[in-house]
Amino acid sequence: MTGTDSELERLIDRRVTVIHRLDLIAKGAQITYDDGTPVDMASEQARLESEITRLDRKILALQPPAGQA
């Protein structure tokens, strides 16, 4: 396994985690900071959606061109 392969796997794993968190938000999950202050879930959802877009670009860049896998 090359460094690129392990980086690709790490990014894919991170993407799965972020999608899971978005699913929890869609189901009404609420999170708070350590001091008990509630997190603005709309902002958190937007941040996670942006993270998915960023991860998709990085994953695409690391994957071999079509037909060369």
Query: What is the rounded distance in angstroms from the CA atom of residue 42 to the CA atom of residue 67?
Result: 40
Identity at 12, one-letter amino acid code: I
The pair phi, psi for residue 32, each rounded to 5°, is -130, 160
Q: Residues 28, 32, 36, CA angle at the centre, nearest 5°?
A: 135
pLDDT single digits (tens) 7-55:
999 999 999 999 999 999 999 999 999 999 999 999 999 999 999 999 9
Q: What does the CA dihedral 60, 61, 67, 69 come to, rounded to 10 degrees?
A: -90
| 3-state secondary structure (DSSP) of residue 43 | helix
pTM, 2 dp: 0.81
pLDDT range class, residue 67, cuts 50, 70, 90: low
